[in-house]
Amino acid sequence: MDAESKPYHHGNLRTALITASLELIRAGGPAGLTLREVARRAGVSHTAPYRHFRDKDDLLAAIAEDGFLRLAAEIRRASALGEDPPMRLRLAGIAYVAFGFDHPAEFDVMFSVVPDRALYPAAKAAADEAFRSLLALTEELKRGGGLTGHAPDVAARIAWAHVHGLAVLAIHRQLAFQNRQDLLDFAGQSTLALLAGLAK
């Protein structure tokens, strides 16, 4: 085929659809996402997406899954740079907030758009993996003596809620930060305070 003619098959539609979806959500929020517009951007007919996703929610679940996998990777990457357990947990928390700030569209989809995660096992599994990355760090903290009075899984949920709230509020501009660095500095302070409290 020459450069002008389009092949009947796209070749990489599924990925292209996810990419286009993220663009749309970034531009107009979750409400700005339209299967037909997604198809248009991928240069494909308005029902082509149904060959790759059962319905709109299924597409959102795929985006969420992808997001969780990348979040988990990001947490592990960042925490590995820390020199002791408290520092590793803090770096993980800051990475979480940074991920939310850097990928607000994915983040929104990951936590609020998908209706019932139980219906989307792949997305659920990815979310669980992200949580386990955090849990591993509180378990390590416990062993290192930096955690008294709380079980590691309790501490993991506390820490998760903490950074999650920060990320959500920052994304929706409730916290009036000027820039990314201000937010991350704030996350650093905030997680430090929480760690002090968890240590006793």
Give the residue among 41, 171, 164, 40 at the shortest CA–CA distance from 93. Answer: 164
Q: What is the DSSP string of 8-73?
A: SS-SSHHHHHHHHHHHHHHHHTGGG--HHHHHHHTT--TTGGGGT-SSHHHHHHHHHHHHHHHHHH
Please tell me whether residue 164 binds a second copy under the rule CB under 8 A: yes
Helix axes 121-143, 56-79, angle to 10 degrees: 20
Please tell me whether residue 45 binds a second copy under the rule CB under 8 A: no
Query: CA 191 → CA 84, 86, 128, 143, distances in Å?
Result: 15, 10, 22, 19
Binding mask of the shown chain, residues 141 to 160, with x at each position contacting a second copy by CB under 8 A? --------xx---x--xx-x
| Interactions with DNA, residue window 51-90 (CB under 7 A) | 51-52, 55-57
Residue 167 CB burial class (10 angstroms; 0-12, 13-18, ≥19): buried
Q: What one-letter code names the amino acid at 76?
A: R
Please tell me whether residue 23 binds DNA under the rule CB under 7 A: no
Closer to DNA by CB, 57 or 128: give it. 57
Among 92, 95, 127, 141, binds a second copy (CB under 8 A): 127
Please tell me whether residue 36 binds DNA under the rule CB under 7 A: yes
Name the minimum Å distance from CB 47 to DNA: 4
Distance CA 76, CA 56 (A): 31
Largest CA distance in the chain: 69
Closer to DNA by CB, 45 or 174: give it. 45
Please tell me whether residue 3 binds a second copy under the rule CB under 8 A: no
Closer to a second copy by CB, 5 or 179: give it. 179
Among 24, 44, 72, 198, binds a second copy (CB under 8 A): 198
Positions that interact with a second copy (CB under 8 A): 29, 31, 108, 111-112, 115, 117, 127, 149-150, 154, 157-158, 160-166, 168-169, 172-175, 186, 189-190, 192-198, 200
Binding site for DNA (CB under 7 A): 7-11, 13, 33-37, 39, 44-48, 50-52, 55-57
